Structure 1
Amino acid sequence: MAKITGTVKWFNESKGFGFITPADGSKDVFVHFSAIMKDGFKTLSEGQQVEFEIQDGPKGPAAANVTIL
Structure 2
Amino acid sequence: MADSFSKKENRNKKAKAKEDKAQKMRERKLNNNKGKSLEDMLAYVDENGNISDSPPRENRKAEIDSKDIQIGATPRPPEDPIRTGIVNFFNTSKGFGFITDDKSKESIFFHINQVSEPIKERDKVSFTRERGTKGYNAVDVKKVGSGAKNAL
Q: Fold match, TM over 0.5?
A: yes
Question: Max radius of gyration: which structure?
Answer: 2
Q: Which residue matches 2:81?
A: 2
2:115 counterpart letter in structure 1? I
Aligned-pair Cα RMSD in Å:
1.4
Q: Which residue matches 1:29?
A: 108
Can you give the 5+ residue segments of structure 1 that lack an aligned partner in the other structure? Answer: none
2:89 counterpart letter in structure 1? W
Q: Which residue matches 2:92?
A: 13
| Mapped partners of 1:29, 1:2: distance in 2 | 14
- Cα drift, residue 56 of structure 1: 1.4
Secondary structure of the residue aligned to 2:116 is coil
1:20 counterpart letter in structure 2? I
Q: Which residue matches 2:133?
A: 58
Can you give the 5+ residue segments of structure 2 that lack an aligned partner in the other structure? Answer: 1-79, 145-152
| Mapped partners of 2:116, 2:131: distance in 1 | 18
Q: Give the TM-score, by structure 1 length.
A: 0.84
| Mapped partners of 1:57, 1:34: distance in 2 | 15
Could you list the structure 1 runs, at least 4 aligned residues long, displaced by more than 2 angstroms after superposition: none
Q: Which residue matches 2:57?
A: none
Greater relative contact order (Cα < 8 A, sep 6+): 1
| Mapped partners of 1:60, 1:44: distance in 2 | 22
Secondary structure of the residue aligned to 1:34 is helix
- Cα drift, residue 58 of structure 1: 2.8
More strand by share: 1
% identical aligned pairs: 35
Which stretch of structure 1 is more off in the superposition, 2-11 or 50-59? 50-59
Q: Give the TM-score, by structure 2 length.
A: 0.40
